[in-house]
Amino acid sequence: MSDFECPPYSKAGFITADSDDDNAIVTGLAFSPRGDQLAVSSMSESAAYARVYSVSDLTLRWTHSLSKVEASCLIWHSSSKSVIIGNQEGDVQSASLDTSEPNDPKMNWGAGETRAFAISGNLLAVGCEACVSILEMGSHRSSTWHSRKDVHFVGDEAGSGELDLRPAGLAFTRNAKLLVVTYEFEGIVIYDAVTAEPVHRVRTLEPCCSSALSPRDNKLFVVNQDEILDVYTINGAKSGHEASLNLSAGMGTVSMFVPILCVHGGAGVLVGGMLGVVRILSATPRTKYGATLQTYRTDTGNKAIQEIVMHNLAQWIDNLFNDFQGYVYAPASRRHYIAFGTADDEWKNGVTIFVTEPQPSTIRQTGSRVWKFLRGLSYVFLAVFLVASICLGILCMVQLCWGSLSLDTLIPFSARLRNRGRTPPSRGRQPQVNRRHDQYWLI
């Protein structure tokens, strides 16, 4: 991946946190799974709202009142038809875009502020101040939760004092079999997503503020309270610390509680700061860990970056064919969106959206895409051939076992193949010998 170049972005638009209140702050952001909508939660002195905007023209599509309780995190239902909202009081609700009813049923975890979400299919992980839970969701119209399991944290045998189980980040692996939980003070724990039992624990160097799991599930990037980005390898019992990067070097103060994201197929890490600056840093040792690939700024003003989200419209194609660390644009679409919201006490806050600029494909990029497609296609044909061969072999074995296919039927068939092209003697007419000429003929 030494030849990776971060694509250039241009500003696509700006959404104010609340058009009726200049003091409102952005508290949550989330792109829909299809990438055509952006959910924004805001909080002011008088009201709190969750709104959904169209990404194409930034028009307002849906508004939901949150009854003066600040939304602490947002995530979309996998159907793209409802937004799951967690607030500071521990309430979690699924608000359907089909209605603007303000009183949707809520589930209160009774464990303090809702701090983090993770979703995979119909599985939802909820991180509160006192526990992390895994549950199954219903349809987008339902706020009913099923099969809730609280993860079972196992501390040190000789541990002293009360455990602080506040989560700093949650992430399901791609197959949804594991849940990776980054705790502020208790390290990183990998849980079985089915049983909620711990599989492995990784000790962190410093208290953690936020984390991001790479698309290949093999790296975890953690921002700690000393403004250091720690890189951890996630590989079962071999998991551990790999590298540390100083985020504040030459960039001033970094906001500790800003979420970070892995972007461009794991080639970069998106990190925010207190000066209205968002950076994409290199996330691979082959291009020097921490090298700044791109820098983006908000409008004029000293603004704290509160939330960062990104959506790649072609990610599903990359997931289908991309089995290495490099990143190549998918042929269907090259659009990538970055959105970050601010929460500053002295300036008007809002959401700034950037989109990748269209770039002509090079011969190398086109060749790489074609090679990836052909390689994926060859895997499909190979799998079909192997399955067909196995099925035919099993069928022959079954016929041999039941007597419908025997060696007596197979041997004459092979003999006929060897005698192909020869004229067999006619039935009922025996060859006779003309001893005078020592020749054979039929009479």
CATH code, domain carrying 232:
2.130.10.10
Asked if 241 and 349 sit in the same domain, the reply is: yes
Q: Say what the pLDDT of residue 236 is.
A: 81
- The number of C-alpha atoms within 13 Å of 430 and in the hemisphere containing its C-beta is 2
Burial class of 43 by CB neighbour count within 10 A (0 to 12, 13 to 18, 19+): buried
Asked if 326 and 201 sit in the same domain, the reply is: yes
Task: Give the whole-angstrom CA distance, residue 153 versus residue 127.
Answer: 13
Instruction: Indicate whether 435 belongs to any domain.
Output: no
Burial class of 374 by CB neighbour count within 10 A (0 to 12, 13 to 18, 19+): exposed
Instruction: Indicate whether 57 belongs to any domain.
Output: yes
Burial class of 281 by CB neighbour count within 10 A (0 to 12, 13 to 18, 19+): buried
Q: Say what the pLDDT of residue 182 is.
A: 92
Asked if 326 and 399 sit in the same domain, the reply is: no
Asked if 270 and 321 sit in the same domain, the reply is: yes
Facing residues of 114 across strands? 128
Asked if 103 and 115 sit in the same domain, the reply is: yes
Asked if 18 and 166 sit in the same domain, the reply is: yes
99, amino acid identity:
T
> What burial letters (b/e) apply to 233-258, b meaning 16+ CB within 10 Å?
ebeeeebeeeebbebeeebeebbbeb
Task: Give the whole-angstrom CA distance, residue 275 versus residue 99.
Answer: 38
Asked if 117 and 250 sit in the same domain, the reply is: yes
Cβ-based neighbour number of residue 332 at 10 Å: 10
Instruction: Indicate whether 429 belongs to any domain.
Output: no
Boundary residue ending a domain (359, 388, 404):
359
Instruction: Indicate whether 297 belongs to any domain.
Output: yes
Q: What is the mean pLDDT of the chain?
A: 75
Q: What are the distances in angstroms from CA 398 to CA 156, 258, 412?
A: 56, 62, 20
Q: Which residues contact 174 (CB under 8 A, 6 or more apart)?
A: 215, 217, 319
Q: Which residues contact 331 (CB under 8 A, 6 or more apart)?
A: 317, 369, 373
Burial class of 377 by CB neighbour count within 10 A (0 to 12, 13 to 18, 19+): exposed
For the chain, give the number of residues.
443
Task: Give the whole-angstrom CA distance, residue 323 versus residue 302.
Answer: 41
Q: Say what the pLDDT of residue 372 is.
A: 81
177, amino acid identity:
K
- Residue carrying structure tokens 């599985």: 123
Instruction: Indicate whether 439 belongs to any domain.
Output: no
Asked if 266 and 405 sit in the same domain, the reply is: no
Asked if 41 and 78 sit in the same domain, the reply is: yes
Instruction: Indicate whether 347 belongs to any domain.
Output: yes
Of 77, 71, 74, the closest CA to residue 39 belongs to: 74
- The number of C-alpha atoms within 13 Å of 20 and in the hemisphere containing its C-beta is 8
Task: Give the whole-angstrom CA distance, residue 386 versus residue 291.
Answer: 45
Cβ-based neighbour number of residue 23 at 10 Å: 15
Instruction: Indicate whether 37 belongs to any domain.
Output: yes
Number of domains in the chain: 2
Instruction: Indicate whether 423 belongs to any domain.
Output: no
Asked if 262 and 396 sit in the same domain, the reply is: no
Asked if 344 and 376 sit in the same domain, the reply is: no
Asked if 49 and 159 sit in the same domain, the reply is: yes
Question: What is the residue range of 40's domain?
Answer: 9-359
Q: Say what the pLDDT of residue 438 is.
A: 46
Q: Is the dihedral of CA 212, 216, 217, 221 positive or negative?
A: negative
For the chain, 443 residues long, give each residue's pLDDT as a single digit of tens: 344 567 778 888 888 888 888 888 888 889 888 888 999 999 888 888 999 999 889 999 999 888 778 888 889 988 888 899 988 888 888 888 876 554 455 676 666 788 889 999 889 999 988 889 998 887 666 656 677 888 988 766 545 567 788 898 999 998 889 999 999 989 999 999 999 999 999 998 888 888 889 888 888 989 888 878 888 988 888 888 988 887 765 454 555 456 677 777 777 887 776 666 777 887 766 556 667 777 777 654 546 666 666 665 433 333 322 222 222 222 234 577 888 888 777 677 888 888 887 665 566 667 777 888 888 888 889 999 999 999 888 888 877 777 655 555 555 545 555 555 555 555 555 555 444 444 444 43
